[in-house]
Amino acid sequence: MEEINKTSSGFATEKPDHIMLSINGDATKQMAITWRTDISVPSGYIEYREENTENVVRKDSENLVFKSDLDETYIHTAIACNLKPATKYFYTCGDDNNRSEEYFFTTAEENLEKFTFIAISDQQQGNFYKQDYSKINAFVKEILRKHPEVKFIVTGGDNTDCGQHVVQWNGALKGMKDIMEYRPLMMTLGNHDNRGFKDYETGEGRYYAEPAEFFNTQFKMAYPDNGPGIWKTENYSFDYGNVHVCVMGINGPDEVGEWIKDDLSGSDKTWKIGTYHFPIYYSNPAGHNFDAFPWMREGVDMCDIMLAGHEHNFSRSFPIKNDAIFAKPSQGTIHYMLSNAGGGAPGCNSQQSIFHAAFYPQEIEGRPSFALFEVDGKKMKITSYLGLGDDIEADIIDQVIIDKEKDEILPYAMPPVYLKRHPRMVFKGMLAGLGGVDAFPVKKDDIWFAPLSIVFQSVGAFVEKTEGKMTLGIYGKKVTFTEGSDIAVTDKGEEIKLDAPVFRGMRGLLYVPAFSASSIYGFRCVYVEHNNFMFWEHEDESIPLFEQP
């Protein structure tokens, strides 16, 4: 394996690097400045001054040892305080012997209701030893050149490819050099950001750190200390103008779920935006949201907009609440999946689901994307751009205007509401297809029944029909249902009582009690009354295709 050289791999020296701004407190009066040095520099300070003045203020840093897999460094953070709103400041950081060059930032205006920020996601680069983030660096710099009005940057996670290894952070933060020194970088934790290997050289022993040790140590002082318990730093929230942003980590969803509710309940801002790396309403047909949503649902449903990443493609949902799909922003949360800023395509594994008002697969290599958020009082315009070469705005994937005052979303789009006597069947967001056209769920004696064989056939699962019986197999489990019987039998001989007997329904198909039959396989099965569809979901992400014997 290639030897890691501390100089070529971006390791720390006495001179400050990884210099980063972040919002930690009142954005009109404060700015957090974080940097790194090697272990020989245990302390430091910032010096800052208002533009066109020589009155320099010094602020000592808080200092924290960061012991990584390869070295020990100091992380330093100092918060510039007592600043004037809407004012430009110049600053340096370091100690007496090693000072950074001079950078600058501008504080937020008071009572700000009109401003712009950007969001990117999944900019990670996969090479273990040579993390080349030069393309994302050039991409973001060009965004800021074209949009100098941008106030801060939010990420949707996967800032690195393997965040439990310091060489990965060295590459990722180098990729934001000459960017994050001038505008706050507010990162969301992704599953690659807490991923590591027990043997990095061989890629063996993959694990996910809970809590996200390297992320939390590096940014503990940079981000607000307002998250839940041991999950602080990977969970935090901040305000900018009339927007409240709740950044949700991927660990500890039960505790995080309670914190989200408390955090959002305590905000009086016009806009409440959440960020969470895994999409709740995904576009991967094999996806799921079992890892968090059962605990986080109540809090997530309090957001106006929920940003996500992970799937490397774009989707924007209708407003959703409790799986019901609506048209007006007051009726639910818009789930906005940020597409891939790194320019890499994940493969052909995405589809538009019933929940999505807009969708783009982004399967062409080398076309990075970003989202521009333009806030104007109770109106917000979000534009997702797709870059091509040097043109960062070569194509518009989607543009939407959310107007709280008029309670409308432009362009207009109506969510599906199906005929009352014809409920649809939906598996992981996808309609069951042609088979469900004239055979659909029915409710008898307050029990929902469904022709489950159609759902299984639509996703390539195992279906075997014999006289008066059917055997359905998916995710490693086969179950036989018999006409007239309320007993289902698994392939291991286990007998399971159903809510009611199986009967022969439309098109001569066997209808099973939907909820009790689905629970045998571990499905979450719900009926969404507002839109009139039955929805199945499962935590298994494998493709349920039974092979040809």
Q: Where are the beta strands (DSSP E) in 14-121?
A: 17-22, 31-38, 45-50, 57-60, 62-67, 72-80, 88-94, 103-106, 114-120
Please indicate, yes or no, if residue 417 is contained in any of the structural domains.
no
- Does the structure show a pLDDT above 60 at 1? no
- Does the structure show a pLDDT above 80 at 344? no
pLDDT given at position 7: 42
Asked whether residue 310 falls in the same domain as residue 210, the answer is yes
For 428, the domain range is 424-537
Q: What is the pLDDT of residues 236-285, one digit of tens each?
A: 999 999 999 999 999 999 999 999 999 999 999 999 999 999 999 999 88
pLDDT given at position 345: 64
SS3 397: strand
In one-letter notation, the amino acid at residue 275 is T
DSSP string of 297-356, one letter each residue? HHHHTT-SEEEE-SSSSEEEEEEEETTEE-SSGGGSEEEEE---SS-----S-----TTE
pLDDT given at position 346: 62
Mean pLDDT of 427-444: 93
Asked whether residue 398 falls in the same domain as residue 530, the answer is no
Q: What global pTM score does this model have?
A: 0.96
Asked whether residue 347 falls in the same domain as residue 433, the answer is no
Mean pLDDT of 361-388: 96
**Residue 486: partners with Cβ closer than 8 Å, 6 or more residues away:** 497, 498, 499, 500, 501, 502, 513
C-alpha to C-alpha distances, 76 to 104, 215, 428, 498, nearest whole angstrom: 18, 14, 45, 61
Please indicate, yes or no, if residue 186 is contained in any of the structural domains.
yes
pLDDT given at position 4: 44
Please indicate, yes or no, if residue 190 is contained in any of the structural domains.
yes
Please indicate, yes or no, if residue 544 is contained in any of the structural domains.
no
Boundary of a domain, candidates 81, 110, 139: 110
Q: What is the pLDDT of residues 491-539, one digit of tens each?
A: 999 999 999 999 999 999 999 999 999 999 999 999 999 999 999 999 9
pLDDT given at position 285: 83
Tokens 């005052």 belong to 405
In one-letter notation, the amino acid at residue 171 is G
Please indicate, yes or no, if residue 115 is contained in any of the structural domains.
no
Percentage of the chain modeled with pLDDT above 90: 88
Residue 8's pLDDT band (cuts 50, 70, 90)? very low
d(CA 19, CA 96): 17
In one-letter notation, the amino acid at residue 517 is A
Lowest mean pLDDT among 9-13, 55-59, 206-210: 9-13
pLDDT given at position 129: 72
Q: What is the mean pLDDT of the chain?
A: 95
Q: How many domains does the structure of the chain reveal?
A: 3
Asked whether residue 326 falls in the same domain as residue 227, the answer is yes
Please indicate, yes or no, if residue 545 is contained in any of the structural domains.
no
Residue 347's pLDDT band (cuts 50, 70, 90)? low
Residue 9's pLDDT band (cuts 50, 70, 90)? low
Mean pLDDT of 210-237: 98
Query: Diameter of the chain by CA atoms?
Result: 91
Asked whether residue 36 falls in the same domain as residue 12, the answer is yes
Asked whether residue 172 falls in the same domain as residue 190, the answer is yes
Asked whether residue 95 falls in the same domain as residue 134, the answer is no
Q: What is the pLDDT of residues 122-142, one digit of tens each?
A: 999 877 777 899 999 999 999
Q: What is the pLDDT of residues 510-523, one digit of tens each?
A: 999 999 999 999 99
Mean pLDDT of 40-57: 98
pLDDT given at position 157: 98
Boundary of a domain, candidates 77, 110, 143: 110
Q: Where are the beta strands (DSSP E) in 361-500?
A: 369-376, 379-388, 391-403, 408-410, 424-427, 430-431, 442-444, 447-450, 462-466, 469-474, 477-482, 487-490, 495-497
Please indicate, yes or no, if residue 547 is contained in any of the structural domains.
no
- Does the structure show a pLDDT above 80 at 6? no
Please indicate, yes or no, if residue 303 is contained in any of the structural domains.
yes
Asked whether residue 61 falls in the same domain as residue 161, the answer is no
Mutual angle of helices 253-265 and 293-300, in 10-degree steps:
0
- Does the structure show a pLDDT above 60 at 383? yes
- Does the structure show a pLDDT above 90 at 357? yes
Residue 143's pLDDT band (cuts 50, 70, 90)? very high
Assign residue 510 the CATH number of its domain: 3.30.457.10
Q: What is the pLDDT of residues 185-199, one digit of tens each?
A: 999 999 999 999 999
pLDDT given at position 348: 60
**What are residue 115's DSSP bridge partners?**
375
